[in-house]
Chains A and B, each alone.
Chain A
Amino acid sequence: MQAAKPAKIKFTADHWKAYGLLIPSLIIFILFMFWPFMYTIYLSFFDWNMVKPTKEFVGLQNYKEVLTDPTTYKVFGNTLLYIGLLLIINLIIPYILAFVLDIVLKRFNHLYKGAIFLPSVISLVVGSILFTWLLNPVSGPAAIILGWFGIDMPIWSKLDGWVIVVLSLITSWKVFGYNFIVLYASVNGISREVIEAARLDGVPLWKIFFHLVLPMSSATGIYVFIITIVQGLQYVFTPIKVITQGGPNYASSNAIYHAYHEAFVLYRTGHSAALSILTMAIFILLLILEFKFVERGIHYEN
């Protein structure tokens, strides 16, 4: 009997030490990630305004409301637009720039690197305020310069579409430098000999980029792709909050800001929770698709 049993895992001193070291981060994880997540799921089935002592169970009513509310679709559309813009500004452009700086350009590389990274260290709130001033459609320097050429600056904060473009630009001001440095490090890590071998074969630069640099740095590329989407959407929150509060008429709101708005401005916690859960579901779906279709083509060094 005794011998047939598989050896039971014994808790040795090492195990306790390991758990001891894990506990601080586990506590933080449970307290700030896992618990709020469970609580959000729980709240999404109730009607509550944060102050009422009782919560009323409404089943799937919140989800139904979210899915029939036209604002939801507008906000998700905005979210997509934000993602598209942020990917162009914070993935594609820094990728090309990293390539140009590392492989094409021979001089002033350090200067460019420093200058591009610098904005990343400044608070986004400060940046947002700075940009509302710089881009003020009437009295800002950008408007004045455009005025010299007889161009009227659109009142971007009041126009659908424009407002998203400007808020994306402001966010990028912060995200761009970090993404650039990460991509630069990856491009820089590619063996010079490999690039030289291609140059000897007369491979044009754009082919070196697409055929060699892109696949060889793709592991980092996909990382930046994902954080650009996830982090970008979170960072956008700050300028939305500081500059437009989601307006005009939800034209600049995204899924994350809208969830915040529902919960902490309109006090519809159930609605907000349901929206959050749906948002998360969409992102999980995207991640699964990424793992299934993109990850296969990624080249990892080892």
Chain B
Amino acid sequence: MKEIRFEHVYKSYGKTEVVTDLNLTIQKGERLILLGPSGCGKSTTLRMIAGLEDVSSGAIYMDQQKVNHLPSGKRNVAMVFQNYALYPHMNVIDNITYGLRVQKVPADEIKRRTEAALDMLQLKEYKDRLPKDLSGGQRQRVALARAVVKQGDYFLLDEPLSNLDAQLRVSARKELVKIHEMYKQTLVYVTHDQVEAMTVADRIALMYKGKLQMVDTPDNVYHRPANIFTATFIGSPPMNVFNVDVQPDSIRFTSQTLKLSPEWSQHIQQTGEKDLAFGIRPEHIDLSKIPTPNSLKGHIKFVENHGNHYGVYMDIEGNEWIAMSESKRWLPHETVYIKPRADKIHMFNQQTTDSIGYPKSLNNGE
């Protein structure tokens, strides 16, 4: 239950740099999700905490102590691996207790912790089985039980749910949060699944190409993305982002213009930014078949059925826009008028791709 701190951490394999200048503090007892596309360095970051990878330069502190050269076994870290890493020749109970027995934890203590874990994860009836005789979900729970009984200060999970089917993933996710609420270890969880990240995280650390993009609460990552990558990576379908020309109180796409709210035009003026990219989430666009004031005209290319809503793909002056609608009355080739909700727009600097911030009156996210 202690904090983890990265200070200017770099990791490279030969000439390939996988993690670049990472500065991050993981608060004690929080659930931090390391999120990002594959190859972004998130797993490497996790493995550096575990001591399974060396740090090329910089320092990692755990509980205020520099741990760059501390062996894995001394870091008091429990970890759940993507493929569970169960010992295939040991039954469930041996798998769970092996580490404790090696560490010479007293037998009655082992028994107490194991019983509790078996109960909590509903593994009692499987305790004599070998891993190969268990289903994927059961194996995942055994891996979880093995990490739980260790009662380490740090709890690391490397894509722990990626081998489960969709339903199981939802229930396993809930279980995981429940377990963490009980033990309150410092939890670091690697995933590429944004739904998992949003549902599990206290805070999300988003990585891309070895660089940390944004660290904040799920709400802020979603509603106040720090840059274009964050804005387009989080949310499905992704945010619409297009370069625009800024005029005093409006923005111009190729030929059509959109009037800005007074708050936004004032904010843009204050920041003095000129070359901007405009962003709007698909669910924040209103569609209409007839012209409405302050809307853009385009036509529908195709419509995707998502079950509870429809994804409407549109062509507006050669750009592809996506909007979400609950109505099924949108048909391909029809003309459509779209109206982004004025208080839901985002603005980014074209060069740096960083957000230019939001008008003060809107500053509380939702």
Contact = CB atoms under 8 A, between A and B. Distances in A.
Interface string B278-320: 0000000000000000000000000000000000000000000
A302 B79 CA distance: 26
A201 B23 CA distance: 27
B85 A202 contact: no
B234 to A, nearest CB: 29
Contact of B150 (A199, A201, A207): A201
A222 interface: no
B78 to A, nearest CB: 7
A203 B100 CA distance: 10
A216 B90 CA distance: 10
B85 A194 contact: yes
B87 A194 contact: yes
Contact of B87 (A202, A212, A302): A212
B73 interface: yes
B353 interface: no
Interface string A97-123: 000000000000000000000000000
Interface string B82-105: 111111110000000011001100
Nearest to B152: A200
A200 B77 contact: yes
Interface size bracket, B side: 20 to 34
A201 B102 contact: yes
Interface string B337-359: 00000000000000000000000
Contacts of B102: 201-204, 207
B25 to A, nearest CB: 22
Given A194-B85, A196-B85, A202 B52 contact: no
B239 to A, nearest CB: 36
Given A207-B102, A211-B98, A200 B79 contact: yes
Contacts of A14: none
B103 A197 contact: no
A290 B203 CA distance: 57
Contacts of A202: 71-74, 99, 102-103
A198 B88 CA distance: 13
Contact of A203 (B50, B75, B99): B99
A199 B74 CA distance: 9
Interface string A34-70: 0000000000000000000000000000000000000
Contacts of A191: 83, 85
Contacts of A215: 89
A240 to B, nearest CB: 40
B81 interface: yes
A301 B88 contact: yes
Contacts of B85: 191, 193-194, 196-197
Contacts of A158: none
B356 to A, nearest CB: 44
Contacts of B132: 302
Interface residues of A, number: 20
Contacts of A203: 73, 98-99, 102
A199 B72 contact: yes
Contacts of B50: 196, 200
A200 B98 contact: no
A193 B73 contact: no
Interface in B176-214: none
Contact of A200 (B78, B86, B88): B78
B24 to A, nearest CB: 21
Contacts of B99: 198, 200-203
Interface string A196-227: 11111111100100011001100000000000
A201 B103 contact: yes
A197 B79 contact: yes
Contacts of A302: 132
A211 B97 CA distance: 13
Contacts of A193: 81-85
A203 B83 CA distance: 20
B73 A199 contact: yes
Contacts of B78: 200
B89 A299 contact: yes
A212 B87 CA distance: 7
Contacts of B82: 193
Contacts of B84: 193
A103 to B, nearest CB: 13
B48 to A, nearest CB: 13
Nearest to A298: B89
Contacts of B98: 198, 201, 203, 211
Contacts of A207: 102
B81 A196 contact: yes
A302 to B, nearest CB: 8
B81 A201 contact: no
A196 B52 contact: yes
Contacts of B75: 200
Most buried by B among A191, A196, A201: A201
Interface in A258-302: 299, 301-302
8 contacts: A193-B84, A196-B72, A196-B81, A198-B98, A199-B52, A199-B72, A203-B102, A301-B88
Given A197-B85, A200-B79, A202-B73, 10 more contacts: A193-B81, A193-B82, A196-B72, A196-B81, A197-B81, A199-B72, A200-B75, A203-B73, A203-B98, A211-B98
Which 8 A/B pairs are nearest by Cβ-Cβ distance? A202-B73, A201-B99, A193-B85, A299-B89, A197-B85, A193-B81, A215-B89, A199-B72
